[in-house]
Chain A
Amino acid sequence: GENVEQHPSTLSVQEGDSAVIKCTYSDSASNYFPWYKQELGKRPQLIIDIRSNVGEKKDQRIAVTLNKTAKHFSLHITETQPEDSAVYFCAASRSGAGSYQLTFGKGTKLSVIP
């Protein structure tokens, strides 16, 4: 099955700096890569996703890059703000049997220091 590795497990940055979280995946057939943000005690919520036919995607201060050859993808957050503090999860999935099955990384706890 798919295996997703995520690094680092914790990350502290000064407000205004950039944060980068990296993930690798094992299944070359995976074709969908979402990123979820989970605030303390809350449910995971999608912040950005990318598909295997795209190399990079941006949404305001958030960007995701994908390298299919190396089987890794990264989340970039620029101009970090205290409200960016949360746990971030990457995930990978492949389509099949009518369902996208997500395999998650173990998460990165991001702390933005004011």
Chain B
Amino acid sequence: NAGVTQTPKFQVLKTGQSMTLQCAQDMNHNSMYWYRQDPGMGLRLIYYSASEGTTDKGEVPNGYNVSRLNKREFSLRLESAAPSQTSVYFCASSEYGGADNTEAFFGQGTRLTVV
């Protein structure tokens, strides 16, 4: 049981390049999320997927796209990377509903630098 797995762990991009961050969870959770973490800013929600087949914008969606490929996988794509997207990206998953099933489990993070 690996929990939430993200790839890659580190990435350096040049301005204008594109890339996709991959995320997979093996906990049979319905909901998945992408956050970015910047110094002094906490974690900010980029996009989320309440269930397979649905995606919605979070607080900071500009410059990103997502795909909920199936129940396990939720990817984040940067079409044209900008230096402002330098950050640590976390994927997370949770199960909606029930008194004990709302904890969000995070992946290990992807440290992205755009030069």
Given A89-B42, A101-B58, A102-B45, are A95 and B96 neighbors across the interface (CB < 8 Å)?
yes
Q: Of A13-21, A39-47, A57-65, A74-82, which stretch is located at the interface?
A: A39-47
Which chain A residues in 11-70 approach chain B with CB under 8 Å? 32, 34, 42-46, 49, 51
Of chain B, the residue at the smallest CB distance from A42 is B108
Interface of B is mostly: loop
Inside 8 A of A104's CB, which chain B residues have their CB? 42-44
B51 within 8 A of A: yes
Q: How many residues of B contact A (CB 8 A)?
A: 29
Hey, which chain B residues are within 8 Å of A103, CB to CB? 45, 59
Q: Does B90 contact A (CB under 8 A)?
A: yes
User: Considering residues A6, A51, A101, A103, which has the most beta carbons from chain B within 10 angstroms of its beta carbon?
Assistant: A101
The 3 closest A-B pairs by CB, nearest first: A99-B50, A98-B50, A43-B106
Q: What is the size category of the interface that chain A forms with chain B?
A: 20 to 34
From residue A73, how far is it (CB to closest CB) to chain B in Å?
16
* Interface: A1 (CB within 8 A): yes
Residue of A nearest to B58 (CB): A101
List A contacts of B40 (CB < 8 A).
9, 106-107
Please pick, from A9, A34, A51, A105, the residue contacting B104 in the complex, using a CB distance under 8 A.
A34
Chain B residue contacts of A100, Cβ below 8 A: 31, 94, 96, 102, 104
A89 vs B104: C-alpha distance in the bound complex, in angstroms? 13
The distance from the CB of A105 to the nearest CB of chain B, in whole angstroms, is: 6
- Can you list 23 residue pairs at the A/B interface with Cβ under 8 Å? A6-B42, A9-B40, A32-B102, A34-B104, A42-B108, A43-B107, A43-B108, A43-B109, A44-B106, A46-B103, A95-B97, A97-B50, A98-B31, A98-B51, A98-B96, A99-B31, A99-B49, A99-B50, A100-B94, A101-B33, A102-B104, A103-B59, A107-B40
